[in-house]
Structure 1
């Protein structure tokens, strides 16, 4: 399945400049491309953390936020969040909200593999337990947001490089993740804006 998936390539301003097979994108000279990160919460404000499967090309076995992924060409980011949460974690989503529309990062693994993404961050709320897909997720755990965030901010928790950069921005929005303000879709990268309202 993954060999047939394409990702959206971007210029420095976040405009689409074409697509490429997902299987060929990540390497020592990974081009900037469109992605998303999602943080799944229950109604108690607990966040669902996931440990990436050991077979993952980038950051295998790393603990991270709930789910990351790439929208397919022509797919809205919110639809991609819903699709990947179902595929990776077996979750039906109650709500999905855009929180950090302009987040981007570049990170390099010890083996030289680069991740280079414009990666808007979404909050998803669920009422059920996850059923992880073993090809994607090694294990999951629920943790109170405040204690998770404190562990990341202190450096105590070994977490993926994107989550390490996202958490301080999320903490700045307030202590209750269910009360974070929803961002304006107009602030998304241009390649994602026309798709923001598509479901």
Structure 2
């Protein structure tokens, strides 16, 4: 089986190479391209997930619906849809870019550091959720507004990146319960797709 590769980036978000995912994540993880997605249902609930207990990075932590890494040459929107299927057996519709240039770095309790340019997407669930237990320990549907308020007040423990993302997403909410879209050309250069979703 071919090792999963991640796209390495310079400080301007340009691709400078690739490396195996497993070998990339350590105490001095280089900057690389990732993505996060928040999946909502038609009732305005957001899907949150608990990372599997034996994951090498941030095990057991509650966080957004799912995260992942586009492969070299893969359209980032296709990568989001692929990862939803892999991790949650979930089909998405209405994929929207929400935070095109989100970046964070954080070190987990085991000393493994994340260092990512991590565009954030939202989407609507178009199927039932059936999590892959090697990736996801538990799932929960929570009203977005309750989740947002609890995270912002520090009343709900979530991953470092999720807490920061929720704070920024709160400023992009629109009246219909969604989020103001960003343009795909606002993505870091390495993530700009050749076509739109």
Q: What TM-score, normalized by structure 2, do the two folds share?
A: 0.95
Confirm or deny: 8 A CA contact 2:173 2:180 kept in the other structure: no
Shift of 1:127: 3.3
Instruction: Give the corresponding residue for 2:139.
Output: 140
Confirm or deny: 8 A CA contact 2:58 2:109 kept in the other structure: no
Counterpart CA distance in 2 for 1:177 and 1:53 is 33
Q: Following superposition, which runs of at least 4 residues in structure 1 exceed 4 angstroms of deviation?
A: 175-178
Instruction: Give the corresponding residue for 2:109.
Output: 110
SS state at 1:96 partner = strand
Instruction: Give the corresponding residue for 1:166.
Output: 165
For residues 6-25 of structure 1, the aligned pairs below 5 Å read: 6-25=5-24
Instruction: Give the corresponding residue for 2:4.
Output: 5
Instruction: Give the corresponding residue for 1:33.
Output: 32
Q: How many residues align?
A: 197
Q: What TM-score, normalized by structure 1, do the two folds share?
A: 0.94
For residues 9-158 of structure 1, the aligned pairs below 5 Å read: 9-158=8-157
Shift of 1:72: 0.6
Counterpart CA distance in 2 for 1:37 and 1:145 is 16
Structure 1 portions without partners, runs of 5+: none
Segment drifting more, 122-131 vs 10-19: 122-131
Shift of 1:44: 1.2
Shift of 1:90: 0.7
| Deviations 1:133-171 (CA, angstroms, capped at 9, x unpaired) | 011000101000000001100101110010011001001
| Deviations 1:54-97 (CA, angstroms, capped at 9, x unpaired) | 11111101000000000011111111110000010011112211
Shift of 1:128: 2.8
Structure 2 portions without partners, runs of 5+: none
Inter-CA distance 28–170: structure 2 relative to 1 (3 Å threshold): same
Segment drifting more, 179-188 vs 81-90: 179-188
Counterpart CA distance in 1 for 2:93 and 2:28 is 37
Counterpart CA distance in 1 for 2:143 and 2:124 is 14
Inter-CA distance 40–177: structure 2 relative to 1 (3 Å threshold): farther
Shift of 1:129: 2.2
Q: Report the RMSD for the aligned CA atoms in angstroms.
A: 1.5
